[in-house]
Structure 1
Amino acid sequence: MLDPARSYDLIGDVHGCALTLEHLLDKLGYRKQGGVWRHPSRMAVFLGDIIDRGPRIREALHIVHDMVEAGQALCVMGNHEFNALGWVTPAAPGGGRHFVREHTPRHARLINETLAQFEQYPKDWHDFLAWFYEMPLFIDAGRFRVVHACWDAGLIEPLRAQYPDGCIDEHFLQASAVPGSFANNVFDRLLRGTDMRLPHGLTMTSGDGLTRSFFRTKFWEDDPQTYGDIVFQPDALPEPVARTPLSSAEKNNLLRYGVDEPLLFVGHYWRSGKPAPIRSNLACLDYSAVLYGRLVAYRLDQETRLDPDKFVWVYVERPEVQQ
């Protein structure tokens, strides 16, 4: 899929901020030719979550899709593209549900903006849903890797054996509706990341208004001691919880992406502040664009360790996130 000698621009979660995406592509030296954003020597790699939340979801999908079709970009699947497929796909018989992703008020709230913007464009929506199946769940280019939320070799290797290009089908999507199944574990880990249950039955209401009993965790810490050492989400843990020591079993269950493994790029995690590497071989490029944050790219050439000076971003202007 990838030319090892080529240079790439890895781009974080767009979430319907099409104007900001065009500003970023322009800043990166891409120019619109024949209706497609192109660069004379580089290629864009999108980290998923093109849809939902933002004001120009359809336009953002056209930009990314047209670049992919023209050989100017690649795009991995994000959890929001997976959610959209699950929303429209009937569940397999006998599972006790109507759709792979149940039509609950909570799930509806996440996809409603996308459905509303496509209401007058049903053919477009049908075509994009079909395209989502062409988005691989991961890219392994040897010297670097791309996945929306978390690289778990224990799941990726058997997935690669079943789907060598990383692109799944409707059967696999339907299988993901079964809790604890391989397909369910793949989507949950690769597209949502690792998490841990809050102790003592506690729950947290996050900044997006959703109440959860789990918190997102780091998957690279070598020697964490407390819950606070592994939390990886915008919402901090309550101080008493953050100070709670991890048990030996909890430590042993943590996934660890080694410091000597290839460069890894993820999105998903709603970071803030100045974009920078998490460590020398790991970068998250989701800096909360649709929350008036930054749309971020990393300009990858032949380096084997991340360069803090190669992050490029544009701020999301207020008019972008207003209809």
Structure 2
Amino acid sequence: MSESQKYRGFDFIGDVHGCAKTLEALLEKLDYRKINGVYTHKHRQAIYVGDIVDRGPRIREALHIVRDMVEHGGARIVMGNHEYNALGYCTRARPGSAHTYLREHTPRHERLIRETLDQFANYGHEWNEFLEWFMTLPLLIDDQSFRVVHACWDHELISQFLEHHPDGLITEDFLHASTVRDSFAGHVMDRLLRGTDMKLPDGMSIRSSDGFVRTAFRTKFWKAEPETYGDVVFQPDALPDEVAERRLSERERRMLLFYGLEEPPLFVGHYWLQGAPRPIRPNIACLDYSAVKYGKLVAYRLEAGDRKLTADNFVWVDVMREAGGAAGR
């Protein structure tokens, strides 16, 4: 019996980012109950799309909840870009490298991981164990009835990756190789964990809502027959009107990926959506609704054998600022 055949259904859960109290509220809303300290469901399995760490107020607690569920078989998880970033930030480069760590300790990188490191300041041994656990997280789940990846499903890259890593796991050598941006390992980690992007025209840059200056914008990997930049943009920060109306060249169209309607349901996180949760397409759902920014922590309930996603199957907990963190984050 396969992993999926054990369960009547699955609950895909979006980016937690240290919102442990919200996660507990969501699991309880989904009818998971603590048994010997571990959240469990009699007939269902939770599947996390990654990004448990960083930004939130209870990162350590969130990691314990998720890892306990995974280790007891009540959940599965794929690696998010924040788990990957943590591995790089905390892993020393090999002798002869121009860097001390795989992910440079720049002010921006330090800012992204600071909450995590601060909350583990008195639990160094635990943090090292979690870093070891991150190396056991697959980059993707390709099931007969659904697929999961943190940011983007790229058929060609995934096929090549699985030829050498059939379990979906990276190795220490792969982690080190991924720091070379134009390497195969670098392409895999960037595409699957961060998504696709397109350069802004004419050397233009835009400032995102978090203050970061960007020279490229994230793109959809499912849009059929797009005509303009606005047809493919997929990020919280809108493009300037003159850029959104710019027509795509044939070369730019060829660069875009396409996840077809005939493919199995795909679940991703990563993209900081807002508003009422709903499918992106009948077979694609993004589950990141900005929980750590007082949005929603979102799950999708998939019944065994379902192929078409509907808005009715989303379940969420609103994160209220006035909750003071207890019920909200």
TM range, normalised to the smaller chain?
over 0.9
Paired position in structure 1 for 2:104: 102
Paired position in structure 1 for 2:316: 313
- Write the deviation string for residues 79-124 of structure 1: whole angstroms up to 9, x where unpaired: 0000000001122344422211111111001001100000011011
Q: 1:42-81 maps to which residues of 2 (within 5 A)?
A: 42-81=44-83
The answer to whether the 8 Å contact 1:197/1:214 transfers is: yes
Paired position in structure 1 for 2:4: 3
Q: Tell me the amino acid that sits aligned with residue 310 of structure 2.
A: D
Paired position in structure 2 for 1:241: 243
Write the distance in 2 (CA, Å) between the matches of 1:49 and 1:209.
21
TM-score (norm 2): 0.96
Selected match of 2:171 from 160, 169, 175: 169
Does 2:127 match 1:125? yes
The answer to whether the 8 Å contact 1:95/1:178 transfers is: no
- Write the deviation string for residues 218-249 of structure 1: whole angstroms up to 9, x where unpaired: 00111111111100000000111101111110
Write the distance in 2 (CA, Å) between the matches of 1:315 and 1:285.
13
Paired position in structure 2 for 1:23: 25
The answer to whether the 8 Å contact 1:195/1:214 transfers is: yes
Selected match of 2:229 from 222, 227, 230: 227
What runs of 5+ residues in structure 1 fail to find an aligned partner? none
What runs of 5+ residues in structure 2 fail to find an aligned partner? none
1:134 aligns to what SS in structure 2? coil
Q: Tell me the amino acid that sits aligned with residue 211 of structure 2.
A: G
- CA displacement at 1:316 relative to structure 2: 1.1
Selected match of 1:266 from 261, 265, 268: 268
Selected match of 2:156 from 154, 157, 165: 154
2:175 aligns to what SS in structure 1? helix
Write the distance in 2 (CA, Å) between the matches of 1:35 and 1:24.
16
Q: Tell me the amino acid that sits aligned with residue 76 of structure 1.
A: V
Q: Tell me the amino acid that sits aligned with residue 112 of structure 1.
A: R
TM-score (norm 1): 0.98
1:313 aligns to what SS in structure 2? strand
Q: Tell me the amino acid that sits aligned with residue 145 of structure 1.
A: R
Write the distance in 1 (CA, Å) between the matches of 2:119 and 2:177.
29
Q: Tell me the amino acid that sits aligned with residue 308 of structure 2.
A: R
1:4 aligns to what SS in structure 2? helix
- Write the deviation string for residues 185-227 of structure 1: whole angstroms up to 9, x where unpaired: 0000000000011111111111111111111000011111111
- CA displacement at 1:5 relative to structure 2: 5.7
Write the distance in 2 (CA, Å) between the matches of 1:240 and 1:41.
51
Paired position in structure 1 for 2:306: 303
Write the distance in 1 (CA, Å) between the matches of 2:62 and 2:234.
27
Q: Percent of counterpart pairs with the same letter?
A: 60
Count of residues in correspondence between the two structures = 323
Does 33-42 or 158-167 show the bigger shift?
Answer: 158-167
Write the distance in 1 (CA, Å) between the matches of 2:26 and 2:276.
16
Paired position in structure 2 for 1:139: 141
Write the distance in 2 (CA, Å) between the matches of 1:237 and 1:92.
40
Does 2:218 match 1:216? yes
The answer to whether the 8 Å contact 1:297/1:311 transfers is: yes
- CA displacement at 1:59 relative to structure 2: 0.3
